[in-house]
Copies of this chain bind each other. A is one copy, B any other.
Amino acid sequence: MGKSILITGGARSGKSALAERLTLGLGPAPIYIATAEAGDAEMAARIAEHQARRGAIWQTWERPDDLLAALRQSDGEAPRLVDCLTLWLSNRMFAGADWAGEAAEIARALPGLNAPVVFVTNEVGGGIVPENALARAFRDAAGRVNQIIAAACDEVYLTVAGYPVKVKPNAILP
């Protein structure tokens, strides 16, 4: 069974760079599973910046929707980096899908996968309660997805200013 790692953190806290570093340490020929869709110029610029940093040794799979299928189809020898769960959730909510059920299926599938997986996700619940009901629903959903996937992962880290804080395993809750 491949190791599974979840990396969470606020915006620009160094999540993706840490995830790339950890993924490269888990084996050669890594696969980057991108959940983003380059819908606007801001997002396209961010995708291009991430690709330039990663360089040519990565294979990129663009999978904004069926993440479980992507994990199964890519399950060979190479480590996978899923960047990120929050955009995947946003895509699934927008499509009216059963995102909670899908996240639970991914969590159940993880122990059966051969190759390692590193997930990137976002902390979005640390600010004032949003006035907008959709924003409140999204931050609740994002927190639930983070908990569902974290429970199934071997390791969880919180990035702060580019550095990881170990969240799981720890001495309080294994």
With both chains docked as a complex, state the minimum distance between the C-beta of A75 and any C-beta of chain B, in angstroms.
24
Docked complex Cα distance between A170 and B167 (Å)? 13
With both chains docked as a complex, state the minimum distance between the C-beta of A148 and any C-beta of chain B, in angstroms.
8
With both chains docked as a complex, state the minimum distance between the C-beta of A36 and any C-beta of chain B, in angstroms.
13
With both chains docked as a complex, state the minimum distance between the C-beta of A174 and any C-beta of chain B, in angstroms.
9
Contact of A11 among B140, B162, B173 (CB under 8 A): B140
A50-58, A65-73, A125-133: which one contacts chain B? A125-133
Contact of A135 among B6, B128, B133, B149 (CB under 8 A): B128
Are B165 and A165 neighbours in the complex by a CB distance under 8 Å? yes
Are A162 and B151 neighbours in the complex by a CB distance under 8 Å? yes
A150 at the interface (CB under 8 A from B): yes
Between A157, A166, A173, the greatest number of chain B beta carbons within 10 A of the residue's beta carbon is seen for: A173
Name 10 extra pairs, CB < 8 A, besides A121-B161, A146-B161, A166-B172: A10-B125, A11-B139, A127-B139, A128-B139, A149-B161, A150-B161, A156-B163, A158-B165, A163-B170, A165-B170
